[in-house]
Structure 1
Amino acid sequence: MAIFGFITGYIIPFVLVLSLLVFVHEMGHYLVGRWSGIRVTAFSVGFGPELIGFTDSHGTRWKLSAIPLGGYVKFFGDEDASSLPDASSVAHMSEADRAQTLAGAKLWKRAATVAAGPIANFILAIAIFAVLFSVYGKMIADPVVAEVRPDSAAAAAGVLPGDRLVALDGSKISTFEEVRRYVSVRPETSIIVTVKRDGQDIDLPMVPKRTEINDQFGNKVELGLIGVVTNEERGNFRRETFTPLEAVAEGVKETGNIITGTFRYIGNLVTGRMKADQLGGPVRVAQASGQMASLGFAAVIQLAAVLSVSIGLLNLMPVPVLDGGHLVFYAIEAVRGRPLGAGAQEIAFRIGLAMVLSLMVFATFNDITNLIG
Structure 2
Amino acid sequence: MTIIATIIVLGVLIFVHELGHFWAAKSVGVRVERFSIGLGPRVAGFERGGTEYILAAIPLGGYVKMGGMDDEVMEKIEGGASAGEGDDGTARPPRTPSPSDYDSKPVWARAWVISAGVIMNMAFAFFAYFLIALGWGTPVPDTLELGQVRSEMMAPGMQAFEEIPVGAELTRIGDRDLRHWGDVRDALRSQEPGTSVEVAYRNPEGSVMIDLPGDPEAVDRSVRALGYFIAPVIAGVLPGSPADRGGIQEGDRVLAVDDTPIRLWDEFTAMIRDRPETETRLTLERGGSEVVRTVTPNLVRGEDIDTGETITIGQIGASPVPSGTAYVPVGPMEAIQSGYEDTVWVTGLILGFLRDLFTGQMSPRNLGSIVTIGEASGQAAAQGIPVFLGFMAFFSVNLAILNLLPIPVLDGGHLVFLGIEAIRGRPVSVEQRMRWSQVGFVVLIGIMALALGNDFLRLFGL
Distance in 1 of aligned mates of 2:446 and 2:351 = 20
Tell me, what secondary structure is at the counterpart of 1:122? helix
Tell me, what secondary structure is at the counterpart of 1:103? helix
- Work out which of the residue numbers 15, 20, 27 in structure 2 matches 1:35: 27
Distance 1:238 1:366, change over 3 A: closer
- Aligned twin of 1:264: 352
- Aligned twin of 2:425: 337
- Aligned twin of 1:274: 362
- Aligned twin of 2:63: 72
- Aligned twin of 1:221: none
Distance 1:174 1:64, change over 3 A: farther
Distance in 1 of aligned mates of 2:405 and 2:460 = 30
Encode CA deviations 1:56-84: one digit per residue, 9 max, x unaligned. 0x210111122211111111123156599
Q: Which amino acid aligns with 2:111?
A: A
Note the C-alpha offset of 1:30: 0.2
Tell me, what secondary structure is at the counterpart of 2:375? helix
Q: Which amino acid aligns with 2:28?
A: S
* 2:50 maps to 1:59: yes
- Aligned twin of 1:117: 117
Distance 1:319 1:173, change over 3 A: farther
Gaps of 5+ in 1: 1-8, 149-159, 196-201, 217-231
Contact 1:140/1:175 (CA < 8 Å) preserved in 2?
no
Distance 1:339 1:137, change over 3 A: same
Note the C-alpha offset of 1:32: 0.6
Contact 2:146/2:227 (CA < 8 Å) preserved in 1?
no
Distance in 1 of aligned mates of 2:72 and 2:346 = 32
Contact 1:146/1:161 (CA < 8 Å) preserved in 2?
no
Aligned residue runs from structure 1 range 142-221, under 5 A: 146-147=147-148, 162=162, 188-189=299-300, 208-213=313-318
TM-score, L = length of structure 2: 0.60
Distance 1:192 1:364, change over 3 A: closer
Query: When you count helix as a share of all residues, which structure comes out higher?
Result: 1
Distance in 1 of aligned mates of 2:21 and 2:120 = 9
Contact 2:73/2:437 (CA < 8 Å) preserved in 1?
no
Distance 1:215 1:19, change over 3 A: farther
Contact 2:300/2:315 (CA < 8 Å) preserved in 1?
no
Encode CA deviations 1:72-98: one digit per residue, 9 max, x unaligned. 1111123156599x899896415xx2x
Encode CA deviations 1:248-295: one digit per residue, 9 max, x unaligned. 222121111111111111222233332221111111001111111211
Distance 1:212 1:100, change over 3 A: same
Aligned residue runs from structure 1 range 210-249, under 5 A: 210-213=315-318, 239-249=327-337
Tell me, what secondary structure is at the counterpart of 1:115? helix
- The percentage of counterpart residues that share the same residue type is 30
Distance in 1 of aligned mates of 2:435 and 2:226 = 50
Whose RCO is larger (CA < 8 A, sep 6+)?
1
Tell me, what secondary structure is at the counterpart of 1:162? helix
Gaps of 5+ in 2: 77-82, 85-90, 150-159, 164-216, 229-265, 277-297
Tell me, what secondary structure is at the counterpart of 2:104? coil
Distance in 1 of aligned mates of 2:11 and 2:303 = 43
Tell me, what secondary structure is at the counterpart of 2:64? strand
Distance 1:192 1:107, change over 3 A: closer
Aligned residue runs from structure 1 range 353-372, under 5 A: 353-372=441-460
